[in-house]
Structure formats: structure tokens, C-alpha cells
Structure 1
């Protein structure tokens, strides 16, 4: 069996989800139950337009239903990573996301995601922003669609400030001033501000702030100026390591859109260590 495959079924007779999958995939029911629990199976009920993630093995399927199973052998078993609560009120919370935990699941599953981890804690989660899988750090989540919308309206204003620490390859001169990278990404204007925190042997610790929000912006910008982030699996040369991506979202300043109260969060020394 391939490591990754999409199974698609048009249901022609009444059955259960587990029986349908076991009949065709060759996987054991025990294995299939793990995939179901991990969120890899989707069902479109007869007469419905929406296809929904379904976890119950005994789910009854009627003729006219449609099933998709997004199989990825790597996602049957995985290291469980848990987010840590930093602060919350009834409207929103700030959590620490460890590296290698997705912010949001994919069609192949959501068990390795912050969103699912919080749902299992009884939280109704509405994502306001995301961190890359490989990036550790502070992330804000809303607990209602209204609060998420309120945050989105102020997200690109000075009422929200996010700061990142990164270890990059090579020595960048410490000018004691804010340095600016202005390079287009995906044909769009993109701007990153940074200061040098520390020069190490063959690497530099920088603190960065995004002025725009492009895909992998910090990682791509520093690669483009010849100083890729250490441990980046996708960008750069001679910057690979076994420890993982050296990029952390270590500071988050928020003005609560509901109360207009200011909050400032910063990771402790251990979590922000590079």
C-alpha cells in the first residue's frame, strides 16, 4: 500500500463506516479506528452538500452517501504534543504551541493539531492566526466567531504586535538599529523588521517583526538575504540540523477588542531559548 492515498466511495447499500472501509482498504479494523479517531475520514450524507469529518466507526451509511478516506501511513501513530495555556478569559485565550504541532488539521487528519487538542479540552475554537508547524510559540485563539471577527478587524493594526526570535546562519552586523528587509514574495510587497540580539559562532540571533503577513515570510526573507533560519527544512543551504527550526514566536501584545484592555505576553527563558 502507498504511504499516501485517497479512497473515495459512493455508497450503494446500507452499511457502517467501519465495514465499508475494512472491505476495501485491507487495513485492520483496529487500524481504521485509529484513522477515524485521527480525523482522516469524511462523509457526505445523502442529499447534503457539505462533507464532514466523521470519527464514529459505527456511523450508519445510507445509499447515496459519499465517503472519502485520506490515508497517510505516517499519521496512524504519532507523538502526541500538547499545547500549554498561558492566559484565557471567556472570550479568548493565548496558548503555547510546541514545534511540530499543526495549528489546524488537514484533510488527512487533525489529531496532530492545536485546534483538535483544544477541542478535546472542551474548547470551541475559532482560529485568529496560524503558526507554521515547525514554529513554536504564542498563539491567540478565539472562543466564538464574533470574537474571532473582532480580532481580525484589528489584526493588522498597532493593537496587535507579534515578535519572533530566530537563529540564522552567518554573522549579521549589529547596527544597534532596526534593520529592514524589503523583498517581494509571491509578487507582493513584503517587509520584515529586525534587530540583532546576539552574534554567535557562525550564527546570529535576531528578533523580528512582520510588517506584512506573507507565507513563511521570515524564513523566506532571511534565506533571500543569505542568512537562512537554522534547521529550516524548506529553505536555505548549510543551515540544516537535527534539533529543528530555530524560530519562536516569543512575544504577543494584544489590545482586547471587547474591553480595550492591553495585554502583553512573553515566553519564559526556557521556552524562548534557541
Structure 2
């Protein structure tokens, strides 16, 4: 059972707020849940969420063992774009969660992979076999899947070294006047809303390049290339420059186009094969709803 120790340097108000600021990897709701479960002590005594911390308070959090998830193979339709002994490339549909979590125990890409592919790398924890990188639930498009640990390490290193290629297409609000641009702005958890990411001074470096593909009345179609892979990077960066992704329930305006989530598609994926050394590139067409939305916008212009 893991324990976390925090020493309060100066008085900072309620304990749940103080711990949220001190432990940036955990949400305030998670910390409040630990307090509710009596997993938090201050100077050896149990406290509630409204306890006001004082300088030199010694806080111990005893993190309960995580809930075990039984991973079951599920016969969910899966578009396997490519597969060999080392890896697979999947075209994930919009609306599919990549791996199980407390809120999504089944119906995920991992459940489908266990049915269709079976042999998957074991480097990640038990709920993420084969998963080298992720895209959001409501983002469609290409993902690389590792079928053994050798392939996983090699593909993960390419992501880290920025030698893989990932291009996205997004429909964004507003009409971008210039043809190309680069957004270089650090991203971290929002200080205002813990469910969101944001451009913050002490965030991790994040770089997104974009090129305008087509303009419509009130919207722009852009191609984006990631240099880094921060959580929600494209969605945060496009909101930051004033052109949020259309349909984005978290970072965009209220729904303005028919659909279920953001119009963001991982269209191109390129990497060097971990065994053969061959440079491989894959492309996935836009989902039907995305295509129809663009046609409607063209007709209305």
C-alpha cells in the first residue's frame, strides 16, 4: 500500500485545496475521496476535508490498493489497418475509450484488441496491454499497437525522440487568416478546472504545427502535426489561440454543429518498423460524419 507524505510549509487553508496544489498528479475529487475514506492523517490524526492546515503539519496519505479490473476480450468491430508479428495499426472510431478505467470497464479498444489480436506487449500496467500512445475518446483515427515488449520500447522511443510522424485534421471555430503557424506553449493541469488541461507557465513543453486546408463561413479546416504528445494538446492549443475545435465539449463553445464530440481525426501515422527498419506510413480517411459536415459547410458558403 503506497503512502505519500506532505509537509505544509505555510498556512494555506483547507486541506483538500492544499493537497490539490501540492500533488499535481491527483485531482481534488480524488483527494476528497481519500479524506472521505479516512485515508489521510495530519500529525497522526484523522481529519475531514474542511480541516485548515497549519505550517509544519505532517500529512500522510495512505493510498488504497487500486480496484482490480477484469479485462475481458470483447467481439467489438475493429478496423485493423495493418498487422504483423510485432505491431498493428488501428483506426479507432470516435466514441471509443482506449483503455479500461474505473468509469469505463468494458467496450474499450483494449477489450477489442484482446479479442482480435490477443498477443500484446506487457510494458504498461495490466489495463493497457499493447497501448503505446493514446487519443481521446471522441477523437477518431490511427493508433500504433505493440504486440511484444521489443516493439513497444522501440515505438515509444520514437515518440519520445520525436522521430515518428503524427498528423491530424481538425475543424475549428473561426476563420484563420494566415496559412501556417506554430503554437509553442507549455501545457499542464488547469489551476481552475482540474478536469481540464491548460497553457500554464510551469507546464510541460508542447509544440503544435498547423496548416490551413480550407476556410468556411465561421470555420476553418486545418491539418496539425504534433511535435510533443501532451494530454488534449491540440484541443488546448487551438483554444489558446482563439480557434477551438468544433464540437469540443470541454474546450470549445456550446455545440454548434451536429455530432458527438470534437471534429478531430488522427489521419496520418508514420514510424520506423522496430524489426525491419522500414519507414511505414498509414493514412485513414475522415469519418463519414466529418465528411458530411464539411460538405454542408461548403454548400452553405
Aligned-pair CA distance for 1:239: 5.2
SS at structure 1 position matched to 2:114? helix
Q: Is the 8 A contact 2:185 2:206 kept in 1?
A: yes
Cα separation, partners in 2 of 1:132 and 1:194, compared to 1, 3 Å: same
Cα separation, partners in 2 of 1:55 and 1:159, compared to 1, 3 Å: closer
Aligned-pair CA distance for 1:55: 7.3
Of the three residues 111, 120, 128, the one matched with 2:106 is 111
Q: Is the 8 A contact 1:81 1:98 kept in 2?
A: no
Aligned-pair CA distance for 1:158: 5.0
Deviations 1:122-151 (A, max 9, x none): 423311100100100001101112211121
Q: Is the 8 A contact 1:230 1:246 kept in 2?
A: yes
Aligned-pair CA distance for 1:52: 3.7
Q: Which residue of 2 aligns with 1:219?
A: 235
Q: Is the 8 A contact 2:245 2:252 kept in 1?
A: yes
Name structure 2 gaps, 5 residues minimum: 1-32, 34-64, 121-129, 189-202, 295-301
SS at structure 2 position matched to 1:53? coil
Of the three residues 80, 84, 89, the one matched with 2:84 is 89
Find out whether 1:161 has 2:165 as its counterpart. Answer: yes
> How far apart are the structure 1 equivalents of 2:77 and 2:271?
24
Find out whether 1:183 has 2:185 as its counterpart. Answer: yes
Cα separation, partners in 2 of 1:206 and 1:55, compared to 1, 3 Å: closer
Deviations 1:37-77 (A, max 9, x none): xxxxxxxxxxxx88643479xxxxxxxxxxxxxxxxxxxxx
SS at structure 2 position matched to 1:101? coil
Q: Which residue of 1 aligns with 2:199?
A: none
> How far apart are the structure 1 equivalents of 2:148 and 2:256?
40
Cα separation, partners in 2 of 1:119 and 1:200, compared to 1, 3 Å: same
Cα separation, partners in 2 of 1:81 and 1:240, compared to 1, 3 Å: farther
Cα separation, partners in 2 of 1:261 and 1:245, compared to 1, 3 Å: same
> How far apart are the structure 1 equivalents of 2:256 and 2:244?
10
Aligned-pair CA distance for 1:112: 2.0
Find out whether 1:265 has 2:267 as its counterpart. Answer: no
Q: Which residue of 1 aligns with 2:252?
A: 236
Deviations 1:249-269 (A, max 9, x none): 000111112111011111135
Q: Which residue of 2 aligns with 1:101?
A: 96
Return the TM-score normalized by structure 2: 0.62
SS at structure 2 position matched to 1:123? coil
Q: Is the 8 A contact 1:167 1:229 kept in 2?
A: yes
1:136-155 to 2 correspondences below 5 Å: 136-155=140-159
> How far apart are the structure 2 equivalents of 1:222 and 1:207?
12
> How far apart are the structure 2 equivalents of 1:262 and 1:143?
18
